[in-house]
Chain A
Amino acid sequence: MNGYDFTLAGATLTAPGSGALWWPARGVLVVSDLHLGKSERIARRGGAALPPYETRDTLTRLAADLALSDARTVVCLGDSFDDIAASQALREEERQWIFRLQAGRRWVWIEGNHDPGPIEFGGAHLAELPITPLIFRHIARSGASGEISGHYHPKATVSLRGRTVTRAAFLIDADRVILPAYGTYTGGLRAQTPVLRDLMHPQAVAVLTGPHPTAIPMPR
């Protein structure tokens, strides 16, 4: 698998095309916005009965990234569950699967706006996590540096000889990285959105996920 390599606050990081972020020196794998249990929450709230397989699909991809990296630490940057009730309604085999993925490594659940309270899975539950020189949190704060966050589900569009390609994307500048959403049932927010434009420096790049992660200047 290819990765896009870059440094943030002196730490060398790699963005493989899966949407996860890998910090080889510390053996840390970061994923954001898994939104596990989303289809259950939509049905519970009277919406459509969407194919109930997104948790399985997200975990399959996470398991593949873990197998490839053999990460010592996993940081989930919040909105790991679509809401607290969804975290309690996961199927037994999916719960067991999460426990198996957690076995033998440090696991940190950062709180997100969808899952602010404690959840019943093992691992640490934190508002934010500093691992020098980086800081991991759900929502980016302006003025922070060495910050790794999620929340916004950024996506970017490139125009290629008359056709457009839109993909989930990392936004990267000298002070922060905003991760794309990793969950299967997640939409994206265009990088041009004012809030993202204001957060990122003018030299920021967007790294499109996919078989070959590709950097472009962040669309503004």
Chain B
Amino acid sequence: MVRGELRAIVCTGSLDLGIDWGDVDLVIQIGAPKNVKRLVQRIGRANHRYNAPSKALLVPANRFEVVECVAALEAVLDGDLDGDPRGAGPRDVLCQHILITACAGPFAADMLFAEVTSAGAYSTLTRKQFDACLDFCATGGYALRAYDRWQRLIQRADGLWQLRDPRATRAIRMNIGTIQDTDTLKVRMKRNRGGKPLGEIEEGFAATLTPGDTFLIGGQIVKYEGLREMTVEVSRDSAKKPKVATFMGTKFATSTQLSARVQRMFTQPSWPELPRHTAQWLELQRTHSQLPRPGHLLIESFPHDGRAQTVIYGFAGRNGQQTLGLLLTKRMEEMGLSPLGFVATDYATLIWSIDPVSDAAALLDPDALLSGMETWLAGNAVMKRTFRASATIAGLIERNSPQARKSGRQATFSSDILSDTLTKYDPDHLMLQITREEALRGLVDFGRIEEMLARTRGRIDHLILPRVTPLSAPLFLEMGRVPVKGDAEERLLAEESRRLMERSGLAQITPAPSDKPRWRVGY
């Protein structure tokens, strides 16, 4: 492609719809299609002419995806399309629209409301909801009216709204957009400053590196040396087991219809329609464990990598399984099993913990899961991620501008602090309402979990096994592991502290931290 011999374009879902290029010969779909309609749209980008057939090559990334690809193609042939109803227009986007409107000049609230509600997604928006968004843009919308002197928008004598300080225009315009970019860092060879960067990695991945760690980038293995002015410095290395840099991007959940098709395929006695290796993989799962049965919930527990592992095959879609991971790790924390983290795919959630799960029925008690939902929503990682996204769109926090990232990054503090503070002191604030709403329909997807509980109604197949099972193996390669903060973090921290202090020899010259509540004595 670099030499111009292969004329191709690499893209995300951005070219799914509405692209009308006549001379695309072939679409290559990497990974599972997730959604039957999406697959049809994608294939349709090839030979987009009335008299030529569209062609595509599907490249599943693991055996699970092979099954999903075959199921999706069968659905296309059956004309069995899927799709979810569209929800109401998000209110964080409305807040951004109000601010951008103010940048263009003074506006009348009545006229803006009339205009906004003429858009389909906002046709059901009430005046009260609109006014709350306007108030948020103007004053922050806090129960504590702290900013009357420093309002962002002010209402003039003639009733029009305008920016208090026209210089805010630049900052607001720099923040336009609703797609959340992940912050990336350039990777460069050390002592080769000014040379061509090897590539970019996401900040989240860079944060997991410590000097000496190796990872793969640009086709070579490099060793992490350190971070210098927002550039990751590396040197060449010949390590055998490098880390693989993760690029998260956006992920869609597999549709309910497609998940149901995959589940039905698992009940077949044999799979002549699947490639041999995939059919053998399913047979192997049948021998060593079992395949998920319709109307039952399969749970596998086994040790691996020095931790207890538990896999829940809920078929609730990526976001639903993610939420299930959050709810279950919270339950495990309460049960004293010290969960460390989890990872979710469209079909299953893998949880690792210090102690193993022995009573799966107690863990999945529907009443406990449902009752924990509301209190749980407040403090978890998915909500914090959603808060960060919504607060950025609504203009409460600014995107990291290239200039700001170069200079005093240390002056900024994390959006988690803002969400914690709001939850504690202003729980009904608009920003938290929006976060809850966006999370419930997006990342939380609680409806799919309720559907799963209704489908299985307490019929749990819990297998305790000696090692990793065939069906669970792809989960260990899955990106997007979510750490659980809690008791396990404190346990590991104490362990690591002892290890580091011993190794450095500091333990001999510094008194060890005591466990006794000693700081009350002596006054």
User: A133 at interface (Cβ–Cβ under 8 A)?
Assistant: no
Which of A27, A70, A189, A217 contacts B501 (CB under 8 A)?
A: A217
Question: Could you show 26 A-B contacts with beta carbons less than 8 Å apart?
Answer: A2-B519, A24-B522, A43-B140, A44-B150, A48-B395, A49-B146, A49-B147, A49-B152, A53-B421, A69-B519, A69-B523, A91-B146, A159-B208, A159-B496, A165-B493, A184-B421, A185-B417, A185-B421, A187-B413, A211-B490, A212-B490, A212-B494, A212-B513, A213-B513, A214-B497, A215-B497
User: B411 at interface (Cβ–Cβ under 8 A)?
Assistant: yes
Chain B residues near A207 (CB-CB < 8 A)? 513
Q: How far is the CA of A212 from the CA of B495 in the complex (A)?
A: 12
**Contact flag A214-B494 (CB < 8 Å), given A25-B522, A43-B147:** yes
Apart from A53-B144, A165-B493, A215-B497, 16 more pairs, CB < 8 Å = A1-B517, A1-B520, A2-B519, A5-B513, A46-B168, A49-B142, A57-B421, A69-B523, A71-B523, A158-B493, A163-B208, A189-B410, A203-B510, A205-B506, A215-B510, A217-B506
* A50 and B509 contacting across the interface, CB-CB below 8 Å: no
Chain A residues near B395 (CB-CB < 8 A)? 48
**Contact flag A70-B523 (CB < 8 Å), given A43-B150, A184-B417:** yes
**Contact flag A158-B496 (CB < 8 Å), given A51-B422, A51-B426, A53-B144:** yes
Where chain B touches its partner, the secondary structure class is loop
Interfacial residues of chain A within 23-52, with CB under 8 A of chain B in the complex: 24-25, 27, 39-40, 43-44, 46-52
**Contact flag A1-B500 (CB < 8 Å), given A51-B426, A186-B413, A187-B412:** no
Which of A27, A40, A91, A184 contacts B523 (CB under 8 A)?
A: A27
A-side interface residues, number (CB < 8 Å):
66
- Could you tell me the distance in whole angstroms from the C-beta of A54 to the nearest C-beta in chain B? 6
User: A102 at interface (Cβ–Cβ under 8 A)?
Assistant: no
User: A153 at interface (Cβ–Cβ under 8 A)?
Assistant: yes
Q: How far is the CA of A207 from the CA of B501 in the complex (A)?
A: 11
**Contact flag A214-B146 (CB < 8 Å), given A159-B210, A161-B340, A184-B421:** no
User: A190 at interface (Cβ–Cβ under 8 A)?
Assistant: yes
Interface size class of B (residues with CB under 8 A): 35 or more
**Contact flag A2-B421 (CB < 8 Å), given A52-B147, A185-B413:** no
Which of B140, B147, B490 contacts A210 (CB under 8 A)?
A: B490
Chain B residue at minimal CB-CB distance from A183: B413
Kindly supply a per-residue 1/0 record for chain B positions 202-236, scoring 1 wherever the CB is within 8 Å of any chain A CB and 0 otherwise.
Answer: 00000110100000000000000010000000000
Which of B340, B412, B483, B510 contacts A205 (CB under 8 A)?
A: B510
Chain B residues near A49 (CB-CB < 8 A)? 139-140, 142, 146-147, 150-152, 396
User: B17 at interface (Cβ–Cβ under 8 A)?
Assistant: no
Q: How far is the CA of A42 from the CA of B412 in the complex (A)?
A: 12
Q: How far is the CA of A169 from the CA of B147 in the complex (A)?
A: 33
* A2 and B493 contacting across the interface, CB-CB below 8 Å: no
Interfacial residues of chain B within 361-387, with CB under 8 A of chain A in the complex: none
Q: How far is the CA of A107 from the CA of B509 in the complex (A)?
A: 34
User: B167 at interface (Cβ–Cβ under 8 A)?
Assistant: yes
Give the one of A27, A68, A214 with max B CB within 10 A: A214
User: B511 at interface (Cβ–Cβ under 8 A)?
Assistant: yes
Query: Which 9 A-B pairs rank lowest in CB-CB distance, beginning with the nearest?
Result: A24-B522, A49-B140, A52-B146, A3-B519, A53-B425, A43-B150, A187-B413, A160-B492, A217-B504
* A2 and B501 contacting across the interface, CB-CB below 8 Å: no
User: B437 at interface (Cβ–Cβ under 8 A)?
Assistant: no
Give the one of B409, B425, B494, B512 with max A CB within 10 A: B425
Interfacial residues of chain A within 53-79, with CB under 8 A of chain B in the complex: 53-54, 56-57, 68-72
Q: How far is the CA of A184 from the CA of B142 in the complex (A)?
A: 18
- Could you tell me the distance in whole angstroms from the C-beta of A202 to the nearest C-beta in chain B? 10
Chain A residues near B425 (CB-CB < 8 A)? 51, 53, 56-57
User: B514 at interface (Cβ–Cβ under 8 A)?
Assistant: yes
User: B341 at interface (Cβ–Cβ under 8 A)?
Assistant: yes
* B424 and A57 contacting across the interface, CB-CB below 8 Å: yes
User: B191 at interface (Cβ–Cβ under 8 A)?
Assistant: no
Which of B144, B483, B493, B516 contacts A208 (CB under 8 A)?
A: B493
Q: How far is the CA of A205 from the CA of B511 in the complex (A)?
A: 11
